């Protein structure tokens, strides 16, 4: 029987989603082992769950990429994709749906989100079905651009803090407006300094909360990731992460900001004082560049192994284990904040690990809660830790055998 404090996917329905023309899948409480050859649709099943969770496609994908090729032709309608899920959460069954359709006479797509058959905004949906995903692409956390690491933080915080998600969405819109004003001022000889007051006030208020929430999250993640890495690789040395901000302040100031014994709004107010001073001071440089040069949209996560930059000096094996430690930390942090275990999605990563690290990962993350694990070889998921997960097989592209 499901705990009142839990989240469990009970049913997943796909229509014209990626390689799936139509699928209705009943899911047991423990979850599924999904076995199939590459290209048959294993990852697409997990991507559908992620879409229900975050309302967004995977990193690097567009909403239009989720629509099956040839969708809508037989019905004489524009191409579309639909994902519906029945989710048991906090002793109640919730119906969540995502519908995406290409516009008929112009480029782009429209997306409709529904909860209990009522249209909702993304802010009302994100967090209902918290998930944590492990995939081979996660190596980009170390080797990719800062935007990848910011997205990692944003997904974690958006699923655990509704205020953060609302502030992040508004911040992006206000940033676009301020950057547009910067370009207009740069192209004219008019003194428009008075026009910045509103946009700066908005950016500072929203950005200060985002920064305070991120710094606190990083402090918690840092402790968890260091511990996990030491467990995964006892002989590699000390793995450390820290928040790298475009706001200039001493390390001790950031450390004091991360103290979770005080309210996050108090921390945000402290950030706002620093933010306002530096944003005003840097306005001339912003105008010259036509872009806002400081703020959470340009921040990063620094990763070091034995006080050396991991992306430059770590081996590929050490980088992969550091990513695994980061994801384990993400799972632990999310669970501690929301009070129950998020749905775990392991997308074809067991083949990337040697047997010892495979055993360690599964023993660490597959304990309670619901899990979905994909693999190309059945032997990879025929394990004692996964005995409660039902097995399904993809016999062809989009062809699932229950």
Query: pLDDT tens digits for 176-206?
Result: 999 999 998 988 866 677 789 999 999 999 9
Rounded CA separation 294/285 (Å)? 10
The pLDDT, as a whole number, for residue 190 is 67
Average pLDDT of 155-183?
Answer: 96
User: Does residue 322 register a pLDDT over 50?
Assistant: yes
Show the tokens assigned to 91. Answer: 């002793």
| Contact of 88 with 8, CB cutoff 8 Å | yes
Residues of the chain within CATH 3.40.50.300 domain(s) are 1-130+343-402
Q: Give per-residue pLDDT as tens, 216-274.
A: 999 999 999 999 999 999 999 999 999 999 999 998 899 888 887 778 999 999 999 99
The tokens 């058959």 sit on which residue? Answer: 117
Q: Give per-residue pLDDT as tens, 57-77.
A: 988 899 999 999 999 988 889
Radius of gyration of the chain (CA): 22
User: Does residue 1 register a pLDDT over 50?
Assistant: no
Global pTM reads 0.94
User: Which residues are registered as beta bridge partners of 301?
Assistant: 243
User: Does residue 4 register a pLDDT over 50?
Assistant: no
Q: 1-130+343-402, superfamily in CATH?
A: P-loop containing nucleotide triphosphate hydrolases (3.40.50.300)
What is the CATH number that goes with domain 139-341? 1.20.1050.90
The pLDDT, as a whole number, for residue 161 is 95
The pLDDT, as a whole number, for residue 24 is 96
Q: Give per-residue pLDDT as tens, 356-400.
A: 999 999 999 998 899 999 999 999 999 988 999 999 999 999 999
Rounded CA separation 86/109 (Å)? 25
Q: Tell me phi and psi for residue 120, to 5 degrees.
A: -135, 160
For the chain, give the percent of residues with pLDDT over 70: 98
* pLDDT band (50, 70, 90) for residue 44: very high
| Contact of 240 with 230, CB cutoff 8 Å | no
Residues of the chain within CATH 1.20.1050.90 domain(s) are 139-341
Cα-based distances in Å from 82 to 40, 53, 113: 19, 14, 10
Angle CA 110–159–19, to nearest 5: 45
Show the tokens assigned to 174. Answer: 């206000």
Q: Tell me phi and psi for residue 50, to 5 degrees.
A: -60, -40
The pLDDT, as a whole number, for residue 195 is 85
| Contact of 18 with 47, CB cutoff 8 Å | yes
Cα-based distances in Å from 1 to 12, 115, 287, 370, 386: 20, 24, 60, 13, 18
User: Does residue 159 register a pLDDT over 80?
Assistant: yes
| Contact of 143 with 311, CB cutoff 8 Å | yes
Which of helix, strand or coil describes residue 58? Answer: coil
Buried b (16+ CB within 10 A) or exposed e, 283-294: beebbeeebbbb
User: Of 401, 328, 317, 395, which Cα lies nearest the Cα of 356?
Assistant: 317
């Amino acid at each position: 029987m499901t705990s009142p404090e839990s989240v469990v996917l009970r049913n997943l329905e796909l229509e014209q989603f990626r390689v799936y023309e139509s699928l209705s899948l009943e899911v047991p409480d423990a979850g599924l082992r999904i076995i199939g050859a590459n290209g048959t649709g294993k990852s697409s099943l997990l991507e559908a769950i992620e879409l229900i969770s975050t309302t967004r496609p995977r990193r690097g994908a567009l909403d239009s990429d989720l629509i099956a090729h040839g969708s809508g032709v037989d019905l004489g309608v524009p191409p579309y994709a639909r994902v519906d899920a029945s989710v048991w959460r906090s002793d109640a069954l919730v119906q969540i749906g995502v519908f995406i359709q290409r516009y008929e006479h112009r480029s782009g797509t429209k997306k409709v989100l529904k909860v209990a058959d009522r249209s909702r905004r993304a802010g009302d949906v994100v967090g209902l079905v918290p998930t944590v995903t492990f995939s081979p692409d996660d190596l980009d956390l170390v080797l990719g651009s800062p935007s990848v690491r910011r997205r990692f933080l944003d997904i974690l915080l958006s699923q655990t803090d509704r205020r953060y998600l609302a502030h992040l969405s508004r911040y992006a819109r206000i940033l676009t407006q301020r950057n547009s004003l910067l370009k207009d001022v740069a192209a004219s000889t008019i003194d428009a300094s008075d026009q910045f007051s509103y946009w700066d006030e908005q950016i500072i208020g929203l950005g200060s909360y985002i920064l305070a929430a991120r710094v606190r999250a990083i402090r918690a993640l840092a402790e968890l990731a260091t511990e996990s890495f030491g467990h995964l690789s006892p002989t590699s040395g000390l793995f450390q992460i820290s928040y790298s901000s475009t706001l200039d302040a001493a390390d001790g100031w950031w450390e004091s900001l991360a103290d979770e014994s005080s309210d996050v709004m108090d921390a945000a107010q402290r950030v706002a004082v620093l933010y306002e001073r530096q944003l005003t001071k840097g306005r001339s440089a912003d105008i010259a560049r036509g872009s806002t040069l400081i703020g959470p949209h340009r921040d990063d996560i620094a990763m070091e192994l034995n006080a050396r930059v991991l992306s430059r000096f770590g081996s590929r094996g050490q980088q992969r284990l550091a990513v695994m430690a980061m994801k384990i930390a993400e799972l632990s942090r999310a669970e501690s904040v929301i009070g129950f275990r998020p749905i775990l999605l392991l997308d074809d990563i067991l083949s990337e690990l040697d047997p010892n690290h495979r055993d360690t990962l599964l023993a660490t993350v597959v304990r309670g809660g619901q899990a979905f694990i994909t693999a190309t070889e059945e032997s990879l998921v025929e394990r004692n830790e996964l005995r409660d997960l039902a097995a399904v097989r993809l016999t062809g592209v989009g062809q699932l055998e229950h």
